[in-house]
With several copies, the nearest count.
Chain A
Amino acid sequence: MNGAQDLGGQHGFGPVAPDVDEPLFHAAWERRAMALTLAMGATGSWSIDTSRHARERMPPADYLASSYYEIWIAGLERLLVEQGLATAEEIAAGRSLAPPAPVKRVLAAADVPAVLARGGPTERPATAPARFAVGDGVTTRLANPHGHTRLPRYLRGRPGVIERVQGCHVYPDSYAHGAGEAPTWLYAVRFAAEDLWGADAEPDTAIVADLFEPYLTPG
């Protein structure tokens, strides 16, 4: 969706302002927010794609006014309600008002190292040959998808070249909506900055993005 999360090429946010002495966490609650998000993800109640879509549906004014862990917490609360794991009343009360819903698994402390080491690989056996090869010219599709997608607005309808073939991966546009993994070929596609920003492009610059096969047409 074309939500506030789709930031490539937007203006008005000011300088990057990196902090040399930045702490890993800026407040104790950020630690808990990070861990809660990972632990709930480990229950298998939703995918990373579903959780990204939950975050990007935050009202744009709120998204832009929130820190990233605030966005995570808002997304987690939304997922709990949408997936039937908790009600808004329970979240407001901070206590259970009804029996828990079943979850696939609960992450035990002893299992954390193994679960983190395993991660969540998204590559899958190919179900069809790749349509494109390194060096092929492609054009990205125009679209106005209300659902989750990983094709940002600034890369729609633009010409590029296949830079790498990344394998066949879970397709977020499907999996975010519970419609199956639908493994799909993924390509790193290279764009000349001039083909994105015209005469305002910085010279001698390329942008490479990982784009799924349905986002691309030949030539």
Chain B
Amino acid sequence: MSGEQSHHGHPHPGHPDHAHEHDHPHGEGSELSPIELRVRALESLLVEKGYVDPAALDVLIDTYETKVGPRNGARVVARAWSDPAYRDRLAADATAAIAELGISGRQGEHMVAVENTAAVHNLVVCTLCSCYPWSVLGLPPVWYKAPPYRSRAVAEPRAVLAEFGVALPAGTSVRVWDSTAEMRYLVVPMRPAGTEGWSEEALAHLVTRDSMIGTGLARDPAGASAGRP
């Protein structure tokens, strides 16, 4: 998947003198949009300058397409649901507790876990850019980075939640975490009823990406395959 976009051996793929000398799997320059041409030219330049190793680009893409994603966070949540001592460690020092599961790294260097309860629902946003806990959730979805969510989550969180199909019971407080610095927030959703005795692996399948941002709840075990990511 990343290989088909590789430009190895194309020193100037964006330059008109060279654009037609090579085999481009996604069509020739004239079929590319302005942003495609722009990114291709930029990659070509940075590779030629020696600042960027094209093989490293492929590994970076592969990492976030296949290795780092919300399944990491789901493992953390399932463990917290299953193991009260782990849950306490996660609350006390989320970075260390998450590292116990072999999960760490970029955009997850300083983690905070915030646990939903019947009294408090947590929601995470970054109003100033798109700060997101990559190490546990992977790359953020488009809506998380776009103006509607970033502008509204801190001012009308319940209206935003309604657009995700989430209606909180009366009496639930909302706490919105605006990730303005390098702390990254993982919401621990409420464990669904009717999951007593489930394995961590089975529980992890109930933990959606959105439930760990706070824009969703964990899946109902009766319909675990349905619903939002």
In this assembly, does B225 line the interface, its C-beta being within 8 Å of a C-beta of chain A? no
Choice from B13, B43, B164, B177 contacting A36 with Cβ under 8 Å: B43
Mask of B16-30 contacts with A, CB within 8 angstroms, 1/0: 000000000010000
Task: Give the distance to chain B from A116, nearest Cβ to Cβ, in Å.
Answer: 5
In this assembly, does B96 line the interface, its C-beta being within 8 Å of a C-beta of chain A? no
Within 8 Å CB of A117, what residues of B? Answer: 104-106
In this assembly, does A199 line the interface, its C-beta being within 8 Å of a C-beta of chain B? no
Task: Give the distance to chain A from B19, nearest Cβ to Cβ, in Å.
Answer: 9
Within 8 Å CB of A186, what residues of B? Answer: 181, 183
Within 8 Å CB of B135, what residues of A? Answer: 119
Task: Give the distance to chain B from A213, nearest Cβ to Cβ, in Å.
Answer: 12
Within 8 Å CB of A68, what residues of B? Answer: 130, 142, 145-146
Bound complex: CA A212 to CA B60 (Å): 32
Bound complex: CA A85 to CA B128 (Å): 27
Contact across chains for B60 and A38 when beta carbons are under 8 A apart: yes
Mask of B101-132 contacts with A, CB within 8 angstroms, 1/0: 00011111110100000000000000111100
Contact-size category for A = 35 or more
Choice from B69, B106, B178 contacting A120 with Cβ under 8 Å: B106
Contact across chains for A91 and B163 when beta carbons are under 8 A apart: no
Bound complex: CA A108 to CA B138 (Å): 22
- List 6 A-B pairs, Cβ < 8 Å: A24-B65, A52-B129, A112-B63, A123-B110, A144-B155, A202-B158
Name B's A-contacting residues (CB within 8 A): 2, 4-5, 11-15, 26, 33, 35-36, 38-46, 48-53, 55-61, 63-65, 68-69, 104-110, 112, 127-130, 135, 138-139, 141-143, 145-152, 154-160, 163-164, 171-183, 210, 215, 228-229
Name A's B-contacting residues (CB within 8 A): 5-11, 13-20, 22, 24-29, 31-36, 38-40, 42-43, 52, 55-56, 60, 64, 67-68, 70, 73, 76-77, 80, 85-86, 90-96, 100, 103, 106-109, 111-113, 116-123, 144, 150-152, 154-155, 164, 166-167, 169-170, 172, 186, 188, 190, 193, 196-197, 201-202, 204-212
